[in-house]
Structure 1
């Protein structure tokens, strides 16, 4: 039994994790964003890197911020999106154009 001079000792309870249909829906959306980021980054290396590169960067960052379970794909999407923009900068400086071609 505690007395008035002795403080009551309790252990703090950790905050409850949010579970349920809303959380699983947000996680599924984040997983979809991670996959879309990867695909857009991959396609951006071939065509429309001015448009698809930034989209891959944004979708990858949003997927990571929302706690995706496909973290590797989101990181690959971000990496490929950055590579798209670097490829665009390289093409502009060497050719003076925003598209690339094979041959002369």
Structure 2
């Protein structure tokens, strides 16, 4: 017997996989643009994915690290030019 979720409904494991991947992608993107928003979002998604027990633990940890790095980059640039944002 093979049990599957009804069409249109996602299982909890797929949700956590998506959260882990999304945190990684948002953290990576946050190094370039909108780090004030994408960094915290990556941190929250990674934390929730890890708390729910994602099988993609490595990606969630990378997303968490990149989210923290986003905020550190923001702070470094804020100290350098005295503004809340930075650009190339």
Structure 1 unmatched ranges of 5 or more = 1-19
Specify the structure having the higher radius of gyration (Cα). Answer: 1
Deviations 1:27-63 (A, max 9, x none): 1100000000000000000000000000000000000
Query: What is the match of residue 32 of structure 1?
Result: 18
Query: What is the match of residue 54 of structure 1?
Result: 40
Could you tell me whether the CA contact under 8 Å between 2:47 and 2:60 is conserved in 1?
Answer: yes
**Secondary structure of the equivalent of 1:69?**
coil
**Secondary structure of the equivalent of 2:11?**
helix
Deviations 1:35-92 (A, max 9, x none): 0000000000000000000000000000001111100000000000000000111111
Structure 2 unmatched ranges of 5 or more = none
Q: When the two structures are superposed, what TM-score results if normalisation uses the length of structure 1?
A: 0.73
Moved over 6 A (4+): none
Q: Greater helix share, 1 or 2?
A: 2
Higher RCO, Cα 8 Å, sep 6+ = 2
Q: Distance in 2 between matches of 1:58 and 1:101?
A: 25
